[in-house]
Amino acid sequence: TGGVSMEDPPAKPADWIEPQAWSELFRLSLVGGPFAGIHKTIKDELPRWRAAYDSSTPMAVLSDAEQGPKVVVALTPFQRLLVLRCLRPDRLIPAVHNYVAEELGEKFVTPPPFDLTGSYSDSTSTTPLIFVLSPGADPFQALNKFATERAKD
């Protein structure tokens, strides 16, 4: 899912590192700046990198001066997200959620409660209500209750 590099990454310093993660970290190091050579630090701080990799909350480990790799702890929170994306892409969405909540505020990650009464009052016979559902969402109970209250079974 990452970019393409003309260079092949060097050999992995440890077997537990996924080939995709190693390749992504290597490409991130090619960006330069604070990421220059980041892949080389893994060998020097293997236990710290392994702790982040094995953690169920790797972003917390990457941010912790006591546990995380020193080069990653020194990065900004957004830059740590880029490292997390390489190392543990499965934990990126919760980390981005937390980042947005911390940087912009909880209101940017908390969906507003659905106001069926307000939505209904905005609708007409030519502008109906349309429900766009996400997995696990089922408005039937609320809609049925609302219709019963309005005597529109």
**C-alpha separations of 2 from 53, 54, 82, 103 in Å:** 19, 22, 11, 25
Quickly state the pLDDT bin for 146 (edges 50, 70, 90): confident
pLDDT above 70: percentage of residues in the chain: 95
pLDDT of residue 151 exceeding 80: no
Q: Does position 4 have pLDDT exceeding 80, yes or no? A: no
Per-chain mean pLDDT for the chain: 89
User: Counting Cβ atoms within 10 Å, is residue 10 exposed (0-12), middle (13-18) or buried (19+)?
Assistant: exposed
Structure-token pair, residue 50: 């392994």
Is residue 91 predicted with pLDDT exceeding 90?
A: yes
Q: How far apart are CA 84 and CA 76, in angstroms?
A: 12
Integer Cα distance of 73 and 62 in angstroms:
6
Residue 3 scores a pLDDT above 90: no
Give the chain's length: 153
The HSE-up count of residue 103 (CA atoms within 13 Å, CB side) is 9
pLDDT tens digits for range 33-55: 999 999 999 999 999 999 999 99
pTM check: above 0.85: no
